[in-house]
Amino acid sequence: MSRIAVVTSAPPLIEGGHLVIARSLVRALEEAGHEAGLVATPQNRFGRQASAYLATWLTDVGVDGAGHATDQVISLRFPSYAVRHERHVCWLNHRMREYYDRWDEFRATLTWQGQLKEGVRRRAMRTVDRYLLTHNVTRLLAQSKTIQARLQRWGGIPSDVVYPPPPQRPYRCDGYGDYVFAVSRLTALKRLSLLIEALARPEAAGIACFIAGDGEQRRSLEHAIETRGLSGRVHLLGRIDDRQLLDHLANCRAVCFPARDEDYGFVTVEAFASRKPVITCTDSGGPAELVIDGVNGRLCAPRPETMAVALRDVMDDAAAARRLGEAGYEQASKMTWEHALKRLLLD
């Protein structure tokens, strides 16, 4: 039995898929006979990231409060991989994307003074990240090919891919109901506005949809639903608990996850574990790596008209939805924590 610290970061008061992965990893380690615990390091706002990296660098995970040595560390996302341990595996979710793949859109929101200041911080963080991911870790794994490609493009950093399996939850399928389900933070990158625009298309007439989650885009999504006359069939549920999540996954016809360039997209494998097909986009990143069009879901161009057709196809044919969902379940069943731990644990 080994004593393993799972280290991740989290913005204050925000839950995300990376925390579900971290907690699922701790549980999988415990079920495999190890002693494991979750260590959360800070992830400060813009302008204070250096202090978050420094605090993580200074965090002592080598020995716990009772004097017991930690045998290994598994870190997940920035700046948690700054933690120091001689046996350190980083299973990367993402670096600070505003300084990498989202730099152009982020820079466009800044004044010229802000661009200069953030440009300096960007260069410094890239330098620090490259050092940490090549010298501070024993093994580097990426949670998707999308993340692997970013590492290679920005830094030339090699990595292997290990997809996170579904969490250890009691997923089930109660049937293939008469609505589409979506769940994520309500932010621009999750692109739920695209789903709403698709539902407003004539091709998607009459299709009902429940959207779970909360975030800064809630008011704009509410406005879009109202102005497009969708209030009777598109419903924002707000934040839901695990029981409600499992109920919706068990009863919906399909899950729609239209995010742009998603790191991994945990909801994809959660839908598969519930025997439900997933509708996603060709530029959705991690989900597009797992969804095979016409096999376990629908993969469409990121346009309202093409998504509307995909929604219509799934909603018009429950038997096809079942067939796609069963294929997704078969795929998710092969993604086991036993296999993941073989890659995450050092000999």
Question: For residue 198, what are its two tokens?
Answer: 């698709």
Q: How far apart are CA 332 and CA 274, in angstroms?
A: 9
Question: For residue 272, what are its two tokens?
Answer: 């598969």
Q: Tell me where in the chain the CATH 3.40.50.2000 domain(s) lie.
A: 179-333
Q: How far apart are CA 137 and CA 84, in angstroms?
A: 8
| Contact (CB, 8 A) for 72 and 57 | no
Q: What's the length of the chain?
A: 347
User: pTM of the prediction?
Assistant: 0.93
Report the top-level CATH class of 3-162.
Answer: alpha beta
Please report, in tens digits, the pLDDT of each residue of the chain (347 residues total). 899 999 998 776 566 678 889 999 999 999 999 999 999 888 766 677 888 999 999 998 887 666 789 999 999 999 999 999 999 999 999 999 999 999 999 999 999 999 999 999 999 999 999 999 999 999 999 999 999 999 999 999 999 999 999 988 999 999 999 999 999 999 999 999 999 999 999 999 999 999 999 999 999 999 999 999 999 999 999 999 999 999 999 999 999 999 999 999 889 999 999 999 999 999 999 999 999 999 999 999 999 999 999 999 999 999 999 999 999 999 999 999 999 999 999 98
Q: How far apart are CA 39 and CA 55, in angstroms?
A: 13
Q: How far apart are CA 134 and CA 81, in angstroms?
A: 11
Q: How far apart are CA 319 and CA 306, in angstroms?
A: 21
Q: How far apart are CA 263 and CA 290, in angstroms?
A: 12
The topology (CATH level 3) of 179-333 is: Rossmann fold (3.40.50)
Going by C-alpha positions, the residue among 265, 251, 125, 112 that lies closest to residue 177 is 251
Q: How far apart are CA 100 and CA 97, in angstroms?
A: 5
| Contact (CB, 8 A) for 146 and 101 | no
